[in-house]
Homo-oligomer: A and B are copies of this chain.
Amino acid sequence: MKRDVLERILWSLSVDRFSKEKYREDPQKFLGRFPLDEEGARMILEFDVKAMQEEGVNPMLTLGYWIEMSPDRRVSSYNRKLGSDSAHSASIKG
A49 CB → nearest B CB, Å:
25
Which positions 5-48 of chain A face chain B at CB distance < 8 Å? 16-18, 21
Which residues on the B side are within 8 Å of A18 (C-beta)?
16-18, 21
Distance, CA A17 to CA B21, complexed state (A) = 11
Distance, CA A17 to CA B17, complexed state (A) = 9
Which residues on the B side are within 8 Å of A21 (C-beta)?
18
Which positions 29-81 of chain A face chain B at CB distance < 8 Å? none
Can you list 5 A-B contacts (CB < 8 A)?
A: A16-B16, A16-B18, A17-B18, A18-B18, A18-B21
| Interface residues in chain A, defined as those with a beta carbon under 8 Å from any beta carbon in chain B | 16-18, 21
